[in-house]
Chains A and B, each alone.
Chain A
Amino acid sequence: MEHEQYKNDSTQETQEPGKEDKPSSLMEKIQQLGQTNVPQLSNDSKIHCLTIIGQIEGHLALPPQNKTTKYEHIIPQLIAIEQNPKIEGLIIVLNTVGGDVEAGLAISEMLASLSKPTVSIVLGGGHSIGVPIAVSCNYSFIAETATMTIHPVRLTGLVIGVPQTFEYLDKMQDRVINFVTSHSNITEETFKELMFAKGNLTRDIGTNVIGKEAVENGLINEVGGIGKAIKKLNELIELQKDKEDVIIQ
């Protein structure tokens, strides 16, 4: 192996760029991935998976070192999923710190209006605008250790300080509250109570709900992981099929 490595080094300058495409040696694969092979599925999967990770990017493109969820990636994917008859269900995996309110609400509305069964699962964190995305699905799960921060809409920088700005922010917040209360079992009072609670977050108002608490407040349907989520999604797919059969008859 060492000998081969030496040979590779000496010929590197004359190597063509296209050479990388060749099936790479075992050594190279271990360097790249830390593993040699992965299992292969034979047929097309009827369940697709979307990950909402990092920051939800709005109108400002974040620097490349930020991990972001871009709505211009997510929304065309959702349209493709809605149109493809082979896809029967969608699972949303969330681990987000939040981000742009309007981009987040756009994704939530798209998910809520999808005709195919959807199940969301919050792993790690589903903070601020991640909350409407989590509740927009037909059924939602939260991992036992996952957290969700509920807090009022905030802006960082670039604000014109006039009374209308405050009203605009207030209306924006109402849109979030309306969306969450109409897509989950939480009441408006409880949600607002959590949103404006004092003493839970350092020098800020709001609440950080963890796993079971989110379920107790009615925000999320159930505590569980991937296994439960896939099982629930399969159940929802069966229900959808039964409904379609009735319509045809």
Chain B
Amino acid sequence: MILYTMMPPELIYPTAENEFGKQMMVQYNGIPLLVEQTEDNCYQVLRVMSSDPNHYLDGRCCPGAKISLLT
């Protein structure tokens, strides 16, 4: 099926509510991070949201790193 429309795809195919719930913003050692919950109750870093270049050099929270927020 081809849809010829100028409507943005997200208006035609609404995203499931739980898709939005997966991602969240957290502070990890004072660094704002966008994380996604993984199956094993850990959080995987998706994006570093800080404007401080030093935060991007912190190996513990590089995008892709798994962190635990239970401490």
If A64-B22, A64-B23, A77-B51 touch, does A157 touch B11 (CB 8 Å cutoff)? yes
Q: Are A17 and B68 in contact (CB under 8 A)?
A: yes
Q: Are A38 and B57 in contact (CB under 8 A)?
A: yes
Q: Are B68 and A61 in contact (CB under 8 A)?
A: no
| Listed stretches A40-48, A108-116, A171-179, A217-225; interface member | A40-48
Q: Are A45 and B71 in contact (CB under 8 A)?
A: no
If A17-B41, A17-B68, A18-B68 touch, does A64 touch B20 (CB 8 Å cutoff)? yes
Tell me how many residue pairs across A and B have CB atoms closer than 8 Å.
75
- Nearest 3 CB-CB pairs, A to B? A157-B7, A63-B15, A48-B51
Q: Which residues of B contact A (CB under 8 A)?
A: 5-8, 10-11, 15, 19-20, 22-23, 36, 40-42, 49, 51-54, 57-59, 62, 64-68, 70-71
14 additional contacts (CB under 8 A) given A47-B53, A49-B51: A32-B62, A33-B62, A37-B59, A38-B58, A38-B59, A38-B62, A39-B57, A40-B57, A44-B54, A45-B52, A62-B10, A63-B15, A156-B6, A158-B7
